[in-house]
Amino acid sequence: EIAEALQCLQERGLQSDDRFAEDYVQSHLQRGYGPYKLLAELKQRGVDETLAQNVVYSDEIDWFELARRVVVKKYGIDAPQDFNDRAKRMRFLQQRGFTQEQTQHAIESDVVTG
């Protein structure tokens, strides 16, 4: 019965993995999550890996800018005070699912470093 109901919803265009993945990514972008975290969460929710990668790595998303905005929102525009402060900011972004490259860019960007 469940499979039949899902099939009926899919035929009517009311259930779509594509739409779910796109909506999920958009809602979590606003919360400041990076691509690694989103890929893991989509996989956990049963979204096909290829579809998840296509949605997460679409050209519409500037992950570097998002990482910069997330770190500025959390820590302000002031540059890290010392090595420990810099490491704390990097850990924060990596725990949010940003790549090493995106994290470094966000920490070293002109807005953050003054």
Q: What is the helix, strand, coil percentage profile of the chain, to 5? A: 70, 0, 30
Q: Under a CB-based contact definition with an 8 Å cutoff, are residues 54 and 72 in contact?
A: no
For 94-104, the pLDDT digits (tens) are: 999 999 999 99
Query: How far is residue 77's CA from residue 46's CA, in Å, rounded to a whole number?
Result: 38
Q: Hey, which CATH number is domain 16-56, 1.10.3470, 1.10.10, 1.20.58, 3.90.25?
A: 1.10.10
Residue 80: predicted pLDDT: 86
Amino acid at 50: T
Q: Could you give the percent of the chain with pLDDT greater than 90?
A: 68
Residue 110: predicted pLDDT: 53
Count of Cβ atoms closer than 10 Å to residue 72 Cβ: 15
**Tokens (6 digits) for 104:** 């470094």
For 38-86, the pLDDT digits (tens) are: 999 999 999 999 999 999 998 889 999 999 999 999 998 888 889 999 9
**pLDDT at 31 > cutoff 70:** yes
* 114: confidence class by pLDDT, cuts 50, 70, 90: very low
Q: List the chain domain ranges.
A: 16-56, 63-113
